[in-house]
Amino acid sequence: MDAITEIKSLIEDQGDAWLKFKATNEERFGLLENDISRLVERNARKLFSPATGDTKRLEQFVDTKTGNYVPVLSHGDSLAALSPQYKSGALAGFEQRGATPSMGRLLRGIILGGKAHDAAELAEERKSLSIASDPTGGYTVAGALSGEWIDALRANMVLSQAGVRCIPMETAQLSLAKVVTSPTSSWHAEGATVGTGDPTFGSVNLSSKTITCLVRLSLELAQDSANIEQILQQSITQSMAAAIDSAGLNGVTTNAAAAPGGIFNLANRNSVLAIGAPTSWNYLLDGLYELLADNVPMDQIGAMIGHPKLWRKMAGLKSGIASDLTTLTMPPEVAALPKLWTTAAPFTSGTTCKAVVGNWNDLLMGCRKDITVRVLSEAFMGSNLEVAVLAYARVDFAATRAESFCTMEGITV
């Protein structure tokens, strides 16, 4: 009996211990649940992540007005992959039928209307992809297909290749926080007054500006060309990409407020002026020095962007030694720096170029997440038997730190 009594006592002790353990942990779990609920409630912000299967997590900023997270896309990231249509596999049905949706295919269908051989299928695609008619007679393309279009624009943009990051915009305005003045640190002696060094915060404001592209083509070409889809998509995306690059670098002179301001108009940027006819890469070394003096790390300084005329000038420079035709050797830092050449970079009077170098991650391109397309079927039909496609997107640029850029100006080529 003594053994049974002892076993019974042990079981009762274990039961009491379990009840005590359960009560303690139920209280802990309850507190944790309350904390989590408060955190979720306080930080109820929309999260973005790449499509299923992509393990890379995008960098995110916070919209200071709404508190929502917004994704930050580098050159290799896809806006289209953020669409629920991609994540849910809703586009797979089109691929299985051998008719993958594309902007070119959509444009062909809009131009030809009921005369397209696959008109019924195209109408179903527009419905499935939530491509809606707008009150002005055009089509508003949102979701995955507009993401593909914007990705195509970015792929053709020199600024994106340099490292400019893209911020998808849900509304026409987007405000992001930035540090205007960095905090200062100081050593503290015992009993002494602590020095003040509070940072100053400001905002980066993106306000979408409208970029348009008008393509005219003959009715015969629209109806008979086998590659009309590729021609339309390629010509429009390349034209718009070049115009966006130009605005991001230079702004515009006519109706300046209608376009982004451009790096070369950025207040407080670094600059190297009145360079003249270069005989070496010293002007670029001076530009790098200006950035380093403003605490831009060398490994964060990205590509130099300039006009092809500048490339031709620099590629033709020789060593400088009499009768030596050896091409001028670049300093190691200059050789390691990517160089992107584009006609969007400034070239004036046939002789003078400008170039820019900087940490391109500190330049943001805001982009509204839809594209609008209209077919002007009557404007040119009566006079030229032509149709026209008008496409427009809405973008803006904003620098998070002006000192991260250095323009090199007055280069005679």
**105 within some domain:** yes
pLDDT confidence of residue 1: 53
Q: Is 99 in the same domain as 203?
A: yes
pLDDT confidence of residue 50: 47
Give the model's confidence band at 62: pLDDT under 50 very low, under 70 low, under 90 confident, else very high.
confident
Amino acid at 39: L
**20 within some domain:** no
pLDDT confidence of residue 229: 75
Q: Is 138 in the same domain as 246?
A: yes
Query: What is the per-residue pLDDT across 77-100, written as a single tens digit (0 to 9) for each?
Result: 888 888 766 655 555 555 545 555
Q: Is 371 in the same domain as 275?
A: no
Q: Is 168 in the same domain as 297?
A: no
Q: Is 390 in the same domain as 273?
A: no
User: What is the Cα 30 distance to its own chain's centre?
Assistant: 43
Task: State how far the Cα of 337 lies from the Cα of 125, in Å rounded to an integer.
Answer: 45
Q: Is 236 in the same domain as 376?
A: yes
**127 within some domain:** yes
Task: State how far the Cα of 237 lies from the Cα of 232, in Å rounded to an integer.
Answer: 8
Q: Is 215 in the same domain as 274?
A: no
Q: Is 207 in the same domain as 348?
A: no
Task: State how far the Cα of 266 lies from the Cα of 247, in Å rounded to an integer.
Answer: 12
**173 within some domain:** yes
| Of 76, 57, 254, nearest in space to 155 by CA | 76
Give the model's confidence band at 148: pLDDT under 50 very low, under 70 low, under 90 confident, else very high.
confident
**286 within some domain:** yes
Q: What percent of the chain has pLDDT over 90?
A: 34
Give the model's confidence band at 122: pLDDT under 50 very low, under 70 low, under 90 confident, else very high.
low
Query: What is the per-residue pLDDT across 247-298, written as a single tens digit (0 to 9) for each?
Result: 999 998 888 888 888 999 999 999 999 999 999 999 999 999 999 999 999 9
Q: What percent of the chain has pLDDT over 70?
A: 74
- Specify the residue for token string 């640190």: 185
pLDDT confidence of residue 53: 44
pLDDT confidence of residue 338: 95
**4 within some domain:** no
Query: What's the mean pLDDT when you consider all of the chain?
Result: 80
**109 within some domain:** yes
| Of 236, 233, 268, 267, nearest in space to 251 by CA | 267
CATH at residue 293: 3.30.2320
Q: Is 325 in the same domain as 274?
A: yes
Statement: residue 360 has pLDDT above 70 = yes
Q: Is 254 in the same domain as 303?
A: no
| Of 237, 249, 236, 220, nearest in space to 386 by CA | 220
> Can you say whether residue 320 is alpha, beta or left, with left for phi > 0 and alpha for psi between -120 and 50 degrees?
left
Q: Is 322 in the same domain as 210?
A: no
Cβ atoms of 76 and 173 within 8 Å: the answer is: no
Domain count, the chain: 2
Average of per-residue pLDDT across 108-112 = 70
Give the model's confidence band at 391: pLDDT under 50 very low, under 70 low, under 90 confident, else very high.
confident
pLDDT confidence of residue 226: 67
Query: What is the per-residue pLDDT across 291-340, written as a single tens digit (0 to 9) for each?
Result: 999 999 999 999 999 999 999 999 999 877 767 778 888 999 999 999 99
Q: Is 213 in the same domain as 349?
A: no
Query: What is the per-residue pLDDT across 4-43, written as a single tens digit (0 to 9) for each?
Result: 777 777 777 777 777 777 777 776 766 676 666 555 544 4
Q: Is the pTM of this model over 0.85?
A: no
pLDDT confidence of residue 108: 72
Statement: residue 405 has pLDDT above 90 = yes
Average of per-residue pLDDT across 217-222 = 73
Statement: residue 359 has pLDDT above 90 = yes
Least confident of 34-48, 97-111, 115-129, 204-218: 34-48
pLDDT confidence of residue 17: 75
User: Residue 118: is it exposed, middle or buried by C-beta count within 10 angstroms (0-12/13-18/19+)?
Assistant: middle
**46 within some domain:** no
Which carries the bigger pLDDT value, residue 392 or residue 115? 392
Provide the residue range defining the domain that includes 84: 59-179+199-258+365-399
Query: What is the per-residue pLDDT across 152-182, written as a single tens digit (0 to 9) for each?
Result: 889 999 999 999 999 998 888 888 877 667 6
